Structure 1
Amino acid sequence: MSFSFHQTVIDEFRANAGRVGGPFEGSELILLTTTGARSGKPHTVPLGFLREAGGLLVVGSAAGADRHPAWYHNLLARPLVQVETAAEEYEAVAVPAEGARRDELFARVVREAPGYGEYQARTGRVIPVVVLQRTHEAASGEGGIAGKLLDVHGWLRAQLELVRELVRERAHEEPRGGRALPLGLQLRQHCLAFCHSLEFHHKSEDAGLFPYLEQQHPHMREFFRRLDAEHRGIARLQQELVRALDAPGGAGFGEGVERLSRELEAHLDAEEAQLLPVLRALGA
Structure 2
Amino acid sequence: MSVQSFNEAVIEEFRANAGKVGGPFEGAGLVLLTTTGARSGQEHTVPLGFVREPDGEQLLVVASAAGADRHPAWFHNLLAHPLVRVETGTEEYGAVAMPAAGARRAELFAHVVRQEPGYGEYQQRTEREIPVVVLQRTHETASGEDGVAGKLLEVHGWLRAQLGHVRREARDHVAAGGGGPAPLGLQLRQHCLAFCQSLEFHHTSEDAGLFPYLASQHPHLAAFFERLAREHRVVSGLQEEIVQLLDQVGEGEGAGAGIVERLEVMSRELEGHLDREEEQLLPVLRALGAP
Q: TM-score range by the shorter chain?
A: over 0.9
* RMSD of aligned alpha carbons: 1.7
2:35 aligned partner: 34
Give the residue type in structure 2 aligned to 1:33.
T
- Alpha-carbon offset, residue 279 of structure 1: 1.1
What's the CA shift for 1:268? Answer: 0.7
Q: Distance in 1 between matches of 2:285 and 2:25?
A: 48
Q: Quick one: distance in 1 between partners of 2:44 and 2:177?
A: 40
How far is 1:109 from its partner? 0.8
Structure 1 residues 4-13 or 50-59, which shifts more? 50-59
Q: CA deviation at 1:55?
A: 2.5
Q: Distance in 1 between matches of 2:141 and 2:117?
A: 36
Q: Counterpart in 1 of 2:4? A: 3
- CA distance 1:58–1:206, shift in 2 (3 Å): same
Equivalent residue in structure 2 for 1:103, among 102, 106, 111: 106
Partner of 1:260: 266
Identical amino acids, percent of aligned pairs: 70
Contact map agreement 1:31 1:44 (CA 8 A) in 2: yes
Aligned to 1:231: 232
For the pair 1:155 / 2:137, whether they are aligned, the reply is no
* 2:34 aligned counterpart, secondary structure: strand
1:64–1:253 distance in 2 versus 1, CA, 3 Å? same
Q: Please give the TM-score of this superposition, normalised by the length of structure 1.
A: 0.94
Shift, 1:191, TM fit: 0.5
Counterpart of 2:142 (choices 139, 143, 165) is: 139
State how 1:187-198 maps to structure 2 within 5 Å: 187-198=188-199
Distance in 2, Cα, partners of 1:210 & 1:138: 23
2:236 partner SS: helix
Which amino acid in the other structure matches residue 241 of structure 2? E
Between 250-259 and 200-209, report the one with greater CA deviation: 250-259
5 Å matches for 1:50-199? 50-52=51-53, 53-174=56-177, 184-199=185-200
- For 1:124, the aligned partner's letter is E
Note if contact 2:141-2:155 (Cα within 8 Å) is conserved in structure 1. no
Q: Tell me how far apart the structure 1 counterparts of residues 208 and 262 of structure 2 sit (CA, whole Å).
A: 27
Q: Deviation digits for residues 8-39 of structure 1, max 9, x if unmatched?
A: 21121122221111111111211111111111
Q: Give the aligned partner of residue 277 of structure 1.
A: 283
Deviation at 1:95, TM superposition (A): 0.9
Paired amino acid for 1:270: R
Deviation, structure 1 residue 137: 2.5
Corresponding residue number in structure 1 for 2:208: 207
Q: Could you list the runs of 5+ residues in structure 2 that have no partner in the other structure? A: none
The Cα of 1:181 is off from its aligned counterpart by 6.8
* Distance across 1 between alignment mates of 2:181 and 2:136: 24
Deviations 1:200-257 (A, max 9, x none): 1001111111111112211111111100110011111111110111134325222111
Cα distance in 1, alignment partners of residues 280 and 11 from structure 2: 45
Give per-residue Cα distances to partners, 1:182-203, cap 9 Å, x unaligned.
Answer: 7621111111110110001001
- Matching residue of 2:50: 49
Conserved 8 A contact 1:61-1:69: yes
Over residues 66-90 of structure 1, what are the superposed CA-to-partner deviations in whole Å (9 max), with x where a residue is unaligned?
Answer: 1111100000001111111111222
Residue identity opposite 2:225 in structure 1 = F
Give TM-score, length-normalised by structure 2. Answer: 0.92
Secondary structure at 1:58 match in 2: strand
- Aligned residue in 2 for 1:218: 219
Whole-angstrom distance in 2 between the partners of 1:272 and 1:3: 45
Q: Distance in 1 between matches of 2:288 and 2:150?
A: 13
**Mapped partners of 1:201, 1:218: distance in 2:** 23
Q: Which amino acid aligns with 1:281?
A: A
Pairs aligned (count): 281
5+ long unaligned stretches in structure 1:
none
Alignment check: 8 A CA contact 2:238 2:266 kept? yes
* Contact 1:136–1:151 (Cα < 8 Å) also in 2: no
Amino acid of the residue matched to residue 168 of structure 1? R
- Tell me the secondary structure at the aligned position of residue 184 of structure 1: helix
Deviations 1:144-175 (A, max 9, x none): 11111111111111111111111111122135
**Cα–Cα, structure 1 residues 138 and 199, in superposed 2: closer, same or farther, change >3 Å?**
same
